[in-house]
Amino acid sequence: MLNDLLLLIKIKEGDIKSFETVFRHYYSPLLYFSAGITGRSDIAEEIIQDLFYILWRDREKIQITRTLKGYLYSAVRNRSLLYCRRRKLDETYISAMDSNQTSSDAQQGMEYRELEEIIARTMNKMPERRMKIFRMHRFESKKYEEIAQLLSLSVKTIEAEMTKALKALKKEVEFHISIQ
């Protein structure tokens, strides 16, 4: 204790050798102490290094009213507990964000399936030729000209049939939205 007090006085005066002595003496025990609280040696190492950096940087104005050992262990305990609180808060926030994302994904999946059902029902109500043209254009990615050639129809007929198919789909989707 008297030795620590003498070392502290020398550190306040800027004696680097005294600081190195304190660092070497307390670094490992403080590291184990912090790792026991945080559960992570890498975080414990950051906490200890930060503590010693601040001890050296603020050596002239730092007020240690008890033993140096008591001061170091209290500071490490407080910093380690603060880290644990922050980590817990981060985990709670991430968990809340994940559950929001999951419910949003589920909602989008449900809406997508409903839209698929509306399209399938509407297509089943279409005349055969219109349904075939719609399927070729939307699901097989064929151009109007290509469809016209394959079905021996004019491009204007394909355009007219697609317009009627899209109007029917729009009407069904709007109806479905209005009843919800």
pLDDT tens, residue by residue, 27-41: 999 999 999 999 989
User: According to CATH, where is 1.10.1740.10 located in the chain?
Assistant: 2-94
Q: Within the chain, which residue ranges are assigned CATH 1.10.10?
A: 126-179
Q: Residue 106, Cβ neighbours under 10 Å: how many?
A: 10
Q: What is the 3-state secondary structure (H, E, C) of the chain?
A: CHHHHHHHHHHHCCCHHHHHHHHHHHHHHHHHHHHHHHCCHHHHHHHHHHHHHHHHHCCCCCCCCCCHHHHHHHHHHHHHHHHHHHHHHHHHHHHHHHHHHHHHHHHHHHHHHHHHHHHHHHHHHCCHHHHHHHHHHHCCCCCHHHHHHHHCCCHHHHHHHHHHHHHHHHHHHHHHHHHC
Classified by CATH at the fold level, domain 126-179 comes out as Arc Repressor Mutant, subunit A (1.10.10)
Report the half-sphere exposure of 178 (CA within 13 A, side-chain side). Answer: 6
Q: What is the C-alpha separation between 7 and 177, in angstroms, rounded?
A: 77
- Reported as a single tens digit per residue, the pLDDT across 75-95 is 999 999 988 888 887 777 677
Q: What topology does CATH give the domain 2-94?
A: Rna Polymerase Sigma Factor; Chain: A (1.10.1740)
List per-residue pLDDT tens for the chain, 180 residues long. Answer: 557 778 888 888 888 999 999 999 999 999 999 999 999 899 999 999 999 998 999 888 888 877 888 889 999 999 999 888 888 877 776 776 666 565 566 677 777 788 888 888 888 888 989 988 988 888 888 899 999 998 999 999 999 998 999 898 888 888 877 766
